[in-house]
Structure 1
Amino acid sequence: MSSSIVEANPHALLRDKAIAHLQAGTTPPSGHWSLGVDTLHLLYELSSNPDKANDALKLLHELQVHQVELDLQNEEFAANEQALVEDLSLYRTLYDAAPLAYFVVDLEGIIINANLVAAELFGIGQGYLVGKQIDTFLKAQNRQSLLDLLQHVAQSGATDSCVAERDGGGQDSRHLTFQAALSPSREQLLLACYECARSS
């Protein structure tokens, strides 16, 4: 039972780890934590009195343990931050290099984010997609279908799809399938888009 209590208490684990480092002489590089003037004064007074010298040693030990705890926490925070940066970079790479066009749009259909394939699909720079209304890239007669899809998914939370024709601007137009889902926050819509065969 005691082991489960220790496992559930991260402060006890951190303290035990700090004490082990002090005993082994393997403390991490100090974050240069400095003792306050009041603490130094108290240590001086306690150590000057033979009856209280033991208290001074205990206090000094507690301060050392606390400093090592802070250094260990600092190391852990730095490692966690690095791991988050690496995860973010990985997911950004996966998003941009995905074989399908992906969009994040608000509930009105304004593009918040789009990957590289999405930019290529509409023949526009990736940065220029942001802030544009997504239906404006479709033929006029298909725009309402996409807007209806977005509204339906936003209200129902169900995943759904529609087919619409891209406005080719004089080039051959393409038939596109849009699949939409509501984001977990329910504040954006996630769209996957891919080219489909022309309907006969």
Structure 2
Amino acid sequence: MPSQIGLPDKQLDLRLRATARLKGPDLDITRASASEALGVLFQLASSPSTAQDALALLHELQVHQIELELQDEELRGSRAELEQALNRQTALYDCAPVGYFTIDAETVVHELNLMGAKLLGLEQADLLGRPLDSVLDERSGQGLHTLIARVGKGQQTASCALAFAVRGGQPRAIQALASRDPAGERFLLVLTDPPQGLA
């Protein structure tokens, strides 16, 4: 007659006896070594009255071990695929022909790609944590804040022309396109060279 947990009484008794042996006076079953568990199984297998059930339990454990190995292989494969996809997306982000920025409402730069730094003639490290409006002329700084405010109030995307100071030269014109960052309270900003004839 099956027990309440779905095991026949004989198999349940076998498991209870194995558990009792593994625990012992000073042994916690959760910390028992594999060799101790196998030792108990071999002892049970050597007794004619429990050999058949012990072998069935051993087979069940072997199947479970193989299932775990297969799951491990699948997880390793999934991890490799995810790492490859992440590397691909990182390469696309950094090598894009436009400047990508993630900024907050105060225009502080939290993320940017290589082209973003190149467009502004600075290093990525020089821009991270710095307000983007600090490299723009005053009028463009105000324009950037207005752009972000429009998107912050619900406009899906907004664009404007900006100009930033070039050391020892004339201000350089760039086109800005902004949208809300779906991952949080920040904003996504794309900077590009203006279309030909509009610079």
TM over 0.5: yes
Aligned to 1:156: 154
Kindly state the Cα deviation for residue 51 of structure 1 after the two structures are TM-superposed. 2.2
What's 2:87 paired with? 89
Which residue is equivalent to 2:140? 142
Once residues 170 and 95 of structure 1 are traced to their aligned partners in structure 2, the CA distance between those partners, rounded to angstroms, is: 30
Structure-to-structure mapping, 1:89-128, within 5 angstroms:
89-128=87-126
Q: Does 1:176 align with 2:182?
A: no
TM-score when scaled to structure 1?
A: 0.75
Name the one with the larger helix percent. 1
In the alignment, the residues of structure 2 paired with residue 55 and residue 46 of structure 1 have an alpha-carbon distance, to the nearest angstrom, of: 8
Are 2:41 and 1:35 equivalent residues in the alignment? Answer: no
Distance in 2 (alpha carbons) for counterparts of 1:61 and 1:133: 65
What is the distance in 2 between the residues matched to 1:109 and 1:84?
A: 32
Note the C-alpha offset of 1:40: 2.6
Secondary structure, aligned partner of 2:153? helix
Give the Å deviation of 1:157: 5.4
State the Cα distance separating 1:169 from its structure 2 match. Answer: 3.4
C-alpha deviation, 1:57, in angstroms: 0.9
Cα deviation per residue 1:79-118 (whole Å; 9 max; x = unaligned)? 1121111111111111111111111112321111111111
Determine the C-alpha separation between the residues in 2 that align with 1:166 and 1:116: 17
Amino acid at match of 2:145: L
Where structure 2 has 5 or more consecutive residues not aligned to the other structure, the ranges are 1-32
Give RMSD over aligned pairs: 2.0
| Structure 1: gaps (5+ residues) | 1-33
Larger Rg: 2
Distance in 2, matches of 1:174 and 1:42, equals: 79
- Using structure 2 for the length normalisation, give the TM-score: 0.75
Hey, which bits of structure 1, 4+ residues long, moved more than 6 A?
A: none
C-alpha distance in 2 between matches for 1:108 and 1:69: 53
> Cα offset for 1:65?
0.8
CA contact (8 A) 1:174 1:195 kept: no
For 1:10, the equivalent position in structure 2 comes to none
